């Protein structure tokens, strides 16, 4: 079997995924978006896992923690934001989470990595006061947890955006940047801190972080004896990293790990020329079969409330750092996809309109942009995901395929459109590899054309040229 991006089923929306290997499986712990939801993270936490030996075989263990299990949220009115998990010295698994903007960090515990977690408590000071409930406390948000080799426990947190007015008024929170606290072995009690590690852009961030200052999404790993801190920058659509010699010491800027639109890869910083639509992203790193991967999430449905988990392999630099990964369709596949067979259009890693791309967290004209969506409600396993609203000049790109003697291409499309779907191995379409006729009238159509691509590893780009709006479902190489 092959692995695609997004690597979970088409109807699943898991952002903020933190990956960990426990035993012979890799588990991801993330928030849980609702398809076409009106807010972030409306569903309860679930856990997905796969054998390390087969990263295409993901299975869901179901709901592992419900929002109303926390006594501060018995009515279930607050939503569960990005979590993290750590295995304690006692061998149990501890789930750290924050309720939207409540301003506390909750902890649940379980004997299994994907079992039913039970409420355990809130991170608190020795006197029992919850962290975030003393005047002047840093705002608790996006917990990241590290249990070091010596058993010491560190909690990372932080948020760039101004603290919501209600939380600030009642609890006197402040936001200085990314902070670290050391916890006692009980995984709850503050032993030291908080200590500021990553000042905000507005709080004298070090010069080395300029243009990539801390925003949110704290995640921490220990790699080759160094502490590697992953975070979302003020650009919002990239994950960066910093490296330190101590878990609570000074960190130096490492670089960008992944950007949703492949900005910064080739010196391009123009968000309108990004290779995909932009929004927030959040994730972490894990080593699988000897290679390091960065997990992140993409945006769908023309907003930031239906996000999906993706992953890319990372290359190391000579000094032990990491190069920025390119966003692809084959992240966990350990190589290009087979150059023959049928592929869903939903695995496109590049998508833009004739007018370029936009950020989903800002106002834009929705009528002119293509987007990923699905044809059934949230949670329906029969849902089919596709690219909607491909108008004249819209491009969908897929990377990469190992083409061997492929002679034809077949596309499945819908919508109301008439024209051509041109295929090329170049995003600029300097050469055409195929021109597939498109004529749809709200009925799924299959159309085949001759394909002219030399053998080798290639991306594939599809550009609609014509009238109306095409919905792109799949393509087949043969």
Q: What is the pLDDT of residue 165?
A: 57
Q: What is the pLDDT of residue 17?
A: 98
Cα 80 from Cα 44, distance rounded (Å): 7
CA-to-CA separations, 383 to 12, 35, 135, 170, 373, in angstroms, rounded: 10, 11, 48, 43, 10
| Position 23 pLDDT exceeds 90 | yes
Class of residue 116 by CB neighbours under 10 A (exposed 0-12, middle 13-18, buried 19+): middle
> Is 12 considered catalytic here?
no
Tell me how crowded residue 307 is: count the other CB atoms within 10 A of its CB.
29
| Position 171 pLDDT exceeds 70 | no
CATH architecture of the domain formed by 338-477? Sandwich (2.60)
Q: What is the pLDDT of residue 161?
A: 73
As assigned by CATH, the class of the 18-335 domain is mainly beta
**Pick the catalytic residue: 114, 138, 182, 216?**
216
The tens digit of pLDDT for each residue in 299-335 reads 999 999 999 999 999 999 999 999 999 999 999 999 9
Sign of the Cα pseudo-torsion (68, 136, 159, 252, in order): negative
> CA torsion angle for 386, 390, 393, 396 (degrees, to 10)?
0
**Pick the catalytic residue: 12, 16, 213, 312?**
16
Beta strands at 337-338 and 395-403: parallel, antiparallel or unpaired: parallel
Provide mean pLDDT across the span 38-62: 98
Which of these ranges, 149-163, 184-198, 256-270, has the smallest mean pLDDT? 149-163
Cα 145 from Cα 24, distance rounded (Å): 21
Q: Which pair of tokens denotes residue 89? A: 């010295």
| Position 167 pLDDT exceeds 60 | no
Query: What residue segments make up the domains of the chain, in order of their start?
Result: 18-335, 338-477
Residue 288: which pLDDT band, with cuts at 50, 70 and 90? very high
**61-67 contact pairs (CB < 8 A, 24+):** 61/114, 61/115, 64/95, 64/110, 64/114, 64/115, 64/116, 64/117, 65/95, 65/97, 65/108, 65/116, 65/117, 67/99
| Position 409 pLDDT exceeds 90 | yes
Question: Would 18-335 and 338-477 be classified into the same CATH topology?
Answer: no
Q: What is the pLDDT of residue 164?
A: 57
Whole-number mean pLDDT of the chain? 96
Cα 294 from Cα 291, distance rounded (Å): 10
Q: What is the pLDDT of residue 170?
A: 53
Provide mean pLDDT across the span 131-154: 96
Which residues lie below 8 Å from residue 194, measured CB to CB, with a gap of 6+?
131, 137, 138, 157, 179, 180, 181
Q: What is the pLDDT of residue 172?
A: 75
Which residues lie below 8 Å from residue 127, measured CB to CB, with a gap of 6+?
none
Q: What is the pLDDT of residue 133?
A: 94
The strand order across the sheet containing 25-29 reads: 18-22, 25-29, 45-51, 59-65
> Is 467 considered catalytic here?
no
Provide mean pLDDT across the span 3-29: 98
Q: What is the pLDDT of residue 166?
A: 53
């Amino acid at each position: 079997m092959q692995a695609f991006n997004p690597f979970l089923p088409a109807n699943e929306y898991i952002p903020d995924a933190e990956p960990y290997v426990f035993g012979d499986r890799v588990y991801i712990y993330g928030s849980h978006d609702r398809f076409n939801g009106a807010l972030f993270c409306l569903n309860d936490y679930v856990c997905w896992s796969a054998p390390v030996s087969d990263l295409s075989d993901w299975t869901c263990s179901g709901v592992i923690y419900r929002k109303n299990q926390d006594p501060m949220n018995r009515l279930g009115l607050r939503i569960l934001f990005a979590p993290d998990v750590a295995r304690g010295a006692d061998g149990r698994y501890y789930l750290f989470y924050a309720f939207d903007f409540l301003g506390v960090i909750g902890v649940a515990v379980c004997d299994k990595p994907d079992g039913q977690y039970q409420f355990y408590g809130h991170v608190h000071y020795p006197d029992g006061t919850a962290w975030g409930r003393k005047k002047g406390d840093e705002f608790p948000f996006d917990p990241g947890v590290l249990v070091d080799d010596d058993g010491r426990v560190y909690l990372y947190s932080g948020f760039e955006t101004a603290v919501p007015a209600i939380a600030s008024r009642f609890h006197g929170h402040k936001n200085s940047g990314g902070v670290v606290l050391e916890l006692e072995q009980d995984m709850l009690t503050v032993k030291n801190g908080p200590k500021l590690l990553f000042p905000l852009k507005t709080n004298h961030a070090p010069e080395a972080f300029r243009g990539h200052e801390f925003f949110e999404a704290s995640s921490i790993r220990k790699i080759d004896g160094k502490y590697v801190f992953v975070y979302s920058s003020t650009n919002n659509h990239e994950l960066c990293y910093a490296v330190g010699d101590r878990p609570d010491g000074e960190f130096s800027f490492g670089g960008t790990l992944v950007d949703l639109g492949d900005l910064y890869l080739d010196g391009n910083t123009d968000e309108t020329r990004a290779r995909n639509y932009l929004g927030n992203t959040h994730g972490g790193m894990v080593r699988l079969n000897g290679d390091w991967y960065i997990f992140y999430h993409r945006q769908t449905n023309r907003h930031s409330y239906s996000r999906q988990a993706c992953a890319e392999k990372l290359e190391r630099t000579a000094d032990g750092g990491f190069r920025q990964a390119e966003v692809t369709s084959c992240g966990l596949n350990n190589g290009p996809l087979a150059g023959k067979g049928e592929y869903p259009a939903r695995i496109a890693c590049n998508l833009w309109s004739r007018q370029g791309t936009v950020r989903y967290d800002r106002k834009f004209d929705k009528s002119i942009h293509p987007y990923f969506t699905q044809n059934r409600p949230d949670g329906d396993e029969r849902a089919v995901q596709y690219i909607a609203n491909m108008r004249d000049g819209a491009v969908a790109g897929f990377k990469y395929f190992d083409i061997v003697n492929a002679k034809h291409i077949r596309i499945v499309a819908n919508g109301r459109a008439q024209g051509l779907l041109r295929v090329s191995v170049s995003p600029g379409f300097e050469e055409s590899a195929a021109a597939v006729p498109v004529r749809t009238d709200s009925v799924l159509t299959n159309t085949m054309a001759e394909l002219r691509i030399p053998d080798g590893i290639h991306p594939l780009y599809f550009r609609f040229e014509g009238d109306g709006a095409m919905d792109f479902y799949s393509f087949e190489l043969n």
